[in-house]
Amino acid sequence: MMDDYTLPFWIYLGVVTVFVGGAMKRIVASHLSAAPTLVAWLGATVLVERLWAFCLPAVLLLALLAFACCLYSARTGPPPTNLPAHGKAVFITGCDSGFGKATAKHLDSLGFEVFATVLDLTGDGARDLQRTCSSRLTLLQVDITQPQQVHQALLDTKAKLGLQGLWGLVNNAGVCVNFGDAELSLMSNFRGCMEVNFFGTLSVTKSFLPLLRHNKGRIVNISSPAGDQPFPCLAAYGASKAALNLFTNTLRHELEPWGVQVSTILPSSYRTGRSSNRAYWDQQHKQLLQSLSPALLDEYGEDYVTEIKDLFHSYASQASTDLSPVVQAIVQALLAPQPRPRYYAGPGVGLMYFIHSYCPFSLSSWLLQRLFVKKKLKPRALRKEGLEINLNLLNNNNEEKLQ
């Protein structure tokens, strides 16, 4: 029976096999949760079974897949033991609150010597770190957009470390200073996001790289899925994180000969900083309305801008307050013998990237629009246009009836 099939047929089957095998490898590497992984395996099995039904029994195919799973499990074996934290120094930016503050506390409890930067040494975050952490933790007041402050932090860190060297750099400091359509966002918002999220991180990384190369240490950059996927109303923030992601990936290749490992953390939605503060969103909303020209505000409508503000506040208030997945991902990136290039920290991120990588772009885009900021209103000009079209259609129908 198999002699009846031509060479192109077998080439086609070979291409399908390579595709499915590559997909399985990406799925396993993505470290998705059990349910999506199982669904993906079953889906791939059904796909191959439908294509090969006339030349390979489905039972045999399942047996082959099970055998491949066994081989993979046997090859990977038990996870290797993490490196010891004792005697290792880590520099963390943006520790006033959120991921930075939680990470500084946890790393200090593990025995790291932590250098934590804050914007305000007298603020609540700094006082909390001083009160709850050991004497090993050093607080430094640093605005990463100010080169002089970054350089001074480097001098202070080197002075305290001496010959010990720096093991890890965690670039956590970041801002999201805009919400709304790209046309509605000020140029200062785009520049503000780039200044902190990209240029500030770049400045810190370049300054501390000699210390990291000396120790063959680790760089961990906290990024966002918005840097890879087109989240609505986050153009300024997403563009800055996209620049950070590309820089991180390039740095990973360049530092490999030096023995420095570079990882990206991609968190899901978490309630950090001022994100759940209604007063913060009201202030952002007020500033946005004041900055828009009368013509642009008329075309979009104040109710359209207000709806976006309410949606962002609602989304942020429902975000998780348990920051432990992100903190644990940072620990793994610092202490795993072979850290991953990317860590998906939090529920749904791995699945989101799987859909983004393997499903049609239209599906990924539709999910982002439906799950992130679920707008109900159109811009006012489009609503007027739609109303005029409906009125014209109604008038035409009435004229046809009269005729």
Number of residues in the chain = 403
Closest by CA to 301, choosing from 371, 365, 385, is: 385
Residue closest to 116 by CA, chosen among 124, 125, 146: 125
Signed CA dihedral, 235, 238, 244, 249: sign only: negative
> How many alpha carbons lie under 13 Å from residue 4 in its C-beta half-sphere?
3
CA distances (Å), origin 260, targets 157, 302, 363? 19, 50, 37
Distance CA 367, CA 365 (A): 5
For the segment(s) 89-371, the CATH number from 1.10.10.10, 3.40.50.720, 3.40.80.10, 3.40.50.10490 is 3.40.50.720
12, 72, 237, 343: the catalytic one is 237
Q: What is the pLDDT along the chain (403 residues), one digit of tens a residue?
A: 445 555 555 655 665 566 556 655 555 555 444 455 555 555 665 665 555 555 555 555 556 666 666 665 555 556 678 899 998 999 999 999 999 999 999 999 999 999 999 999 999 999 999 999 999 999 999 999 999 999 999 999 999 998 788 999 999 999 887 678 899 988 988 999 999 999 999 999 999 999 999 999 999 999 999 999 888 888 999 999 999 999 999 999 999 999 999 999 999 888 777 666 777 778 878 888 888 899 999 999 999 888 888 888 777 777 788 899 999 999 999 999 999 999 999 888 888 888 888 878 888 878 877 777 778 888 988 887 655 554 455 555 555 554 5
Point out which residues pair with 141 in neighbouring strands: 118
Residue carrying structure tokens 């202030």: 283
Per-residue pLDDT at 4: 53
The structural domains of the chain, with segments of one domain joined by +, span: 2-76, 89-371
Tokens at 384, concatenated: 């007027």
pLDDT of residue 34: 47
Q: How far apart are CA 34 and CA 300, in angstroms?
A: 44
Q: Are 354 and 27 in contact (CB under 8 A)?
A: yes
Specify whether 237 is catalytic: yes
Q: What is the pLDDT of residue 365?
A: 79
